[in-house]
Homo-oligomer: A and B are copies of this chain.
């Protein structure tokens, strides 16, 4: 299933483009020039590609039918300098979207690549994207989608989950527990009020010691408890591998081996590796800022041929860069 992105009016009108593309359009019109050009998009860093489907959706709305678009696939790994997208079409049909397409590829691939790093570090423990709070809401869903393209098992926003075709993931916020005044009370209220197919995962670091709170909710919810979430803040020493072990030991000793342990709170690749090396008995990892705040992987667009003749600006090699991994992508309108 292909996700449906919302391409805003502002993008299609060029309001988010560098203004010199709008001016170039005027200049070329005045000169009466509109050659068929071949433009290549690549990055100087390697990564995992995300954003190509959204870019395709833009091009499908603006390119003529006989234009040729070759690309790597969403989720594919690319090398430094490898061409990820090549468009051959009259310049007027897409020149204005250079900024937008570069931005989609840069931001999307930055998030997806960071997600992949976490997933690889986790060595099989599922990773869920919890980073919506670290990016502007205009891109929160896209960030979550990219995290799933990069290998995450789920995400917290409704929009991200919709784009990726999964159910959104979540436990309960500290706010709910603070308002209800007690973790067990919050757990019971949550259990009563929400649909039965939503997993009962209780946050256990709000008021009391994590071990004590875990045992209290486990005794109260019994088999209905799917898991506990440890999110101990830095002020309290963060979640450590021994803490996870300790919670696991007491839950097992109390007969609650079915209850899973989810860990979140400032996780990055180094911290995930630490947990994996320490063999902490974690069932799910929730990652936020490391994915959401990942630096975009910048892309560059170069005209490499005009009316089929090799050209290049200084610093680049003239003519098309061979890449047998590119595949032709469809511009047919989607119904």
Contact (Cβ within 8 A) A130 B18 = yes
- The stretch of A66-74, A269-277, A309-317, A324-332 in contact with B is A309-317
- Closest chain B residue, CB of each to CB of A159: B15
Evaluate whether A240 and B236 lie within 8 angstroms (CB atoms) in the complex, with A133-B98, A170-B20, A176-B24 already known: yes
The reply on A237 being an interface residue by CB < 8 A is: yes
Contact (Cβ within 8 A) B207 A137 = no
- The stretch of A118-126, A208-216, A217-225, A255-263 in contact with B is A208-216
The count of identical subunits is 6
A27 interface neighbour in B159, B190, B289, B313, Cβ under 8 Å: B190
11 contacts between A and B (CB under 8 A): A11-B138, A23-B198, A26-B194, A30-B192, A37-B178, A103-B135, A104-B137, A179-B303, A208-B208, A237-B243, A246-B317
The reply on A193 being an interface residue by CB < 8 A is: yes
In the assembled complex, the Cα of A107 lies from the Cα of B8 at a distance in Å of 20
Residues of B within 8 A of A312 (CB): 246
Evaluate whether A23 and B172 lie within 8 angstroms (CB atoms) in the complex, with A28-B179, A133-B99 already known: yes
The reply on A46 being an interface residue by CB < 8 A is: no
Report the minimal beta-carbon distance from A49 to chain B, rounded to whole angstroms: 15
The reply on A136 being an interface residue by CB < 8 A is: yes
Residues of B within 8 A of A140 (CB): 16, 99-100, 103
Contact (Cβ within 8 A) A106 B133 = yes
Interface members, chain A 129-169 (any B CB < 8 Å)? 130, 132-142, 156-159, 161-162, 168-169
In the assembled complex, the Cα of A24 lies from the Cα of B172 at a distance in Å of 7
A binding-site residues for B, Cβ under 8 Å: 8, 10-11, 14-24, 26-31, 33, 35, 37, 39, 44, 51, 91, 95, 98-100, 102-104, 106-108, 110, 130, 132-142, 156-159, 161-162, 168-180, 186, 189-190, 192-194, 198, 205-209, 211-212, 232-238, 240, 242-243, 245-246, 249-250, 253, 289, 292-293, 295-296, 298-299, 302-303, 306, 310-319
In the assembled complex, the Cα of A191 lies from the Cα of B8 at a distance in Å of 32
Residues of B within 8 A of A17 (CB): 132, 137, 157-158
Residues of B within 8 A of A31 (CB): 180, 189, 193
A246 interface neighbour in B22, B246, B315, Cβ under 8 Å: B315
Contact (Cβ within 8 A) B303 A249 = no
In the A-B complex, the 6 residue pairs with the closest CB atoms: A237-B237, A20-B170, A235-B242, A233-B315, A30-B193, A235-B315
- Closest chain B residue, CB of each to CB of A302: B174
Residues of B within 8 A of A318 (CB): 249-250, 253
A303 interface neighbour in B15, B95, B175, Cβ under 8 Å: B175
Residues of B within 8 A of A110 (CB): 293
In the assembled complex, the Cα of A108 lies from the Cα of B137 at a distance in Å of 11
